[in-house]
Amino acid sequence: MSETYDLVVKGGRVVLPGGTVDCDVGVRDGLIAELGEIAPDKAGETLDAAGLTVLPGVIDSQVHFREPGMEHKEDLASGTAAAALGGVTSIFEMPNTKPPTTDAAALHDKLDRAKGRAWTDHAFFVGATADNLDQLPELERLPGVPGIKVFMGSSTGSLLVDEEELLAEIAHRTNRRFSVHAEDEARLRERLSIVRDHGATVELHPEWRDVTAATLATERICRLCRRHGGRVQVLHISTAEEMDILAQYKDVATVEVTPQHLTLAAPECYREHGSYAQMNPPIREARHRDGLWRALRRRIVDVIGSDHAPHAAEEKEAAYPATPSGIPGVQTLLPLMLDHVNAGRLSLEHLAELTAAGPARAFSVMRKGRIAVGYDADLALVDANATREITLDWLASKTGWSPFAGRTVTGWPVATVLRGQVVARDGALVGSPQGRPVGFLDTLRSGRP
């Protein structure tokens, strides 16, 4: 009996691990079952991809969806809706919620909240604290956990871990790759007076949280990982100097950059957007942006993540430095990066590596990150030649704002397929939320002797 498929993505230009080819993608039981020319009568459903590029669905390994405790900023339903509309099929959510995700009960609460509400597959980081070090080896291996998150720089409550002895313990005790926000807390405290002076403006944000605060922390965590056998993902790198350091630690460190740091530059971004461009670590001057692109071209960068960090507009309108840091970005990640592809800054194949294969490799994700037989049928269909304006009415985040609103880009997500189900098409969600917890190779033996 001849093979039939639940879905055939027909006639697209498909970005495969070995290159980009014209072929159809046959899907059965949520998995990619065939790549090649597939007869029309073999498809239960056909998704016309003529004139489109088929990318592996984006794995956004750094988002803040604010649930529980801050649902006025975002929640799991609105955040994953924004993700799906932007071509993102899996998200890893951060632990700085209220309460923070620092134990199994808080993790299970988030997993329960996501059931029937998440438009994408999902996983939830567990935050390291001074009080849960003994539990980290068990917590990092729970199903639905991509790893441990460490805040070395200013954060909320107990999630700050800045003492070298504690950081060394985390590097020693964890078996999986853990993720780090690397800013030196002692230096941030020393320099706080820079922005506490009367009349301080947001343009001082990168002076307060300066290059040295970033390089001290990044060098420190990499050194400790090498000494104690740890593995680290250093998040949202913002300086050219850090990339020079990280190039020396590729045995223990993987590297993330954000579209914000690759696209914006100071002081222009603060003059145009004010505190709406404020994030940690800061957007810096153009030489740092150029340094990030240089590191990306040299393959020092492993992952592009959005660091989607929404806040209400009224919170952003407060007087600096009382304004919260963070920029929404999960839905604009792919349009911004496709625009950079169109400008010749990277190839489609490299984009797929950074947004799908890279995070899958860094976190040992099961059956995701590439278009290949046997993998989840997670796909982002994009029109690489379409010129569109990023508009507020397209954005699904609760924030209702973006520093990229009004920006015209070339390259646009047209449809998103999650495990063989079309969940977004032509700017609208399709069907009902289908998200499930992401699987990780490192959790397979969780709970076994």
Q: ∠85-428-40 over CA atoms, to 5°?
A: 95
Beta carbons of 208 and 180 less than 8 angstroms apart = no
Angstrom distance (rounded) from CA 250 to CA 7:
40
Strand (E) positions, 182-331?
232-234, 253-257, 303-304
User: Hey, what's the torsion of the CAs at 74, 75, 80, 82, to 10 degrees?
Assistant: -30
**Which of 18, 19, 34 is closest to 10 using CA atoms?**
34
**Structure token digits, residue 329:** 């970005």
The CA distance from 432 to 81, in Å, is 10
Tokens standing for 28? Answer: 């059965």
CA–CA distance, 170 with 319 (Å, rounded to integer)? 37
Place of tokens 């289908």: 434
Tokens for 335? 């349009």
Element (H, E) at 181: strand 178-181
Whether omega before 321 lies within 30 degrees of 0, making that bond cis, reads yes
Helices 164-173 and 211-228, axial angle in degrees (round to 10): 50
Catalytically annotated residue among 75, 307, 376, 378:
307
Adjacency order of strands within the sheet including 58-63: 58-63, 88-93, 121-124
State the helix-helix crossing angle for 104-114 and 76-85, rounded to 10 degrees.
60
Positive or negative: CA dihedral 228, 232, 238, 240: positive
307 is known as an active-site residue: yes
SS3 call for 422: strand
Give Cα 384 to chain centroid, integer Å: 21
Helix (H, G, I), strand (E, B), or coil: what is residue 124?
A: strand
Active centre residues (catalytic): 307
